[in-house]
């Protein structure tokens, strides 16, 4: 979790725009009319970079982050002897619920400087974060605390939301990408987007097709076979018949796993089946539009085993109807498709987009049946920013 630090250092960190000091002084004329003598002591120049009052950078105690994916460009120095390490279970409004290493759950606010540091993150703390908590409060409530540092994240799955980075979960071993065979219907393009996000984060993905009791499993083989040939593990499940649940339970034992997918595919039902007694809320799919209802409203880290966490963790996430990829430029998309990647270097042009060029090895592979046409179509949608 927390790594050994080199000691206290002074580093320059960027702050959000709203944390700037007062803007450039412009009321010299008014002051001259009131007191002309005072202008003799006024500053005649100003610095617009470095340590001037117009910069967004401030000097704080900490260390520069080793990886840009840590979420912040600095790691704050804190008094670890008077704080406790923990894991963020969920974030609800201004409160974060943290399971401390002492086995207690703390209701925490976030240290002001963490919310002031410049970052692309939509939320400072997310489910799965390793954090340091200062225990206690002015009211004397021992279950209250303040998150004073967020440890660097070893990985994270993100999407773009309102032009900012929304981290769905952090610090996991497996990404369980859940879809349903029916009610709602299977959306292969959405699964491809999750697979790309997992590839980018270097998290092992597992594709789970739920509600297989509603369809003929043979009809799923063409699309399931494509993912399986690429090396992705695919598990067919049904919470009604119990099909595939034991296999899934063995897979997640002792690991930290995130369960992600669109609304209504049965993510919470699968978790209830894996860990009896969770009693997570579930709801039926709308009969009007076959879309799921947002029953799960916030990502929640669920410790498994006794003591909590000894059997790993599962993260239940809210349903997603769109997955806009974060920090992926169009030129990178082809490299994140393992079935397209082998053909890239055979294209005539080094900057080939694999969409409209004539001498394109990727398009030839589709025509020759070496590359699945649906996967190529999914690549085109993602590259152009279209699709789900």
pLDDT of residue 65: 55
Residues in contact with 232: Cβ distance below 8 Å, sequence separation at least 6, in sequence order: 195, 205, 206, 207
Tally of CA atoms within 13 A in the half-sphere of 33 that contains its CB: 3
Q: What is the pLDDT of residues 97-131, one digit of tens each?
A: 999 998 899 999 988 777 766 566 767 889 999 99
Fold type of domain 80-150: OB fold (Dihydrolipoamide Acetyltransferase, E2P) (2.40.50)
Separation of alpha carbons 314 and 87, rounded Å = 13
Confidence of residue 4 (pLDDT cuts 50, 70, 90): very low
CB 99 within 8 A of CB 304: no
The first and second tokens of residue 359, run together, are: 């001498």
Q: Which residue has the tokens 């009211």?
A: 139
* CATH number among 2.40.40.20, 3.30.1540.10, 2.40.50.100, 1.10.40.50, domain 330-383: 1.10.40.50
Confidence of residue 48 (pLDDT cuts 50, 70, 90): low
Instruction: Identify the three-state secondary structure at position 251.
Output: helix
Confidence of residue 217 (pLDDT cuts 50, 70, 90): confident
Beta-bridge partner residues of 177: 207, 260
CA distances from 205 to 21, 78, 172, 201 (A): 46, 35, 11, 10
Separation of alpha carbons 143 and 74, rounded Å = 28
Domain boundaries, the chain: 80-150, 169-316, 330-383
Confidence of residue 326 (pLDDT cuts 50, 70, 90): confident
CB 262 within 8 A of CB 321: yes
Average pLDDT score over residue span 160-179: 89
Beta-bridge partner residues of 239: none
Average pLDDT score over residue span 254-266: 91
* CATH number among 3.40.50.300, 3.40.1260.10, 3.30.390.10, 3.40.50.11440, domain 169-316: 3.40.50.300
Q: What is the mean pLDDT of the chain?
A: 80
pLDDT of residue 67: 52
Average pLDDT score over residue span 319-329: 84
Q: Which residue has the tokens 């912040």?
A: 72
């Amino acid at each position: 979790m927390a790594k050994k630090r080199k000691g206290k250092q002074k580093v320059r960190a960027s702050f959000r725009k709203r944390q700037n000091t007062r803007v450039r002084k412009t009321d010299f004329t008014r002051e001259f009319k009131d007191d002309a003598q005072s202008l003799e002591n006024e500053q005649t120049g100003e610095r617009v970079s470095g340590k001037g009052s117009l910069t967004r950078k401030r000097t704080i105690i900490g260390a520069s982050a080793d990886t840009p994916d840590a979420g912040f460009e600095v790691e704050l120095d804190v008094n670890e002897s008077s704080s406790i390490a923990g894991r963020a279970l969920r974030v609800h409004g201004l409160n974060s619920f943290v399971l401390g290493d002492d086995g207690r759950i703390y209701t925490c606010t976030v240290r002001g400087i963490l919310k002031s540091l410049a970052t692309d993150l939509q939320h400072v703390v997310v489910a799965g974060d390793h954090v340091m908590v200062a225990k206690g409060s002015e009211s004397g409530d021992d279950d209250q605390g303040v998150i004073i540092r967020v440890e660097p994240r070893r990985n994270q799955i993100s999407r773009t939301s309102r032009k900012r980075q929304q981290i769905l979960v952090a610090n996991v071993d497996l990404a369980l990408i859940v879809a349903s065979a029916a009610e709602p219907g299977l959306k292969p393009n959405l699964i491809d987007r999750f697979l790309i996000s997992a590839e980018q984060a270097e998290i092992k993905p597992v594709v789970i097709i739920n509600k297989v009791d509603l369809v003929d499993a043979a009809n799923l083989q063409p699309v399931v076979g494509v993912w399986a040939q690429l090396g992705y593990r695919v598990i067919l499940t049904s919470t009604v018949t119990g099909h595939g649940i034991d296999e899934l339970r063995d897979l997640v034992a002792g690991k930290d796993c995130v369960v992600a997918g669109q609304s209504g595919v049965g993510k919470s039902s699968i978790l209830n089946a894996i860990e009896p007694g969770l009693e997570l809320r579930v709801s039926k799919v709308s009969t009007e539009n076959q879309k799921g209802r947002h029953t799960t409203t916030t990502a929640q880290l669920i410790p498994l085993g006794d003591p909590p966490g000894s059997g790993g963790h599962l993260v239940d996430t809210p349903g997603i109807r769109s997955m806009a990829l974060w920090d992926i430029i169009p030129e990178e998309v082809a490299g994140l498709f393992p079935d397209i990647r082998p053909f890239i270097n055979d294209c005539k042009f080094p900057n080939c987009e694999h969409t409209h060029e004539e001498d394109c090895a990727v398009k030839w592979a589709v025509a020759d049946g070496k590359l699945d046409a649906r996967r190529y179509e999914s690549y085109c949608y993602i590259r152009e920013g279209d699709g789900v």
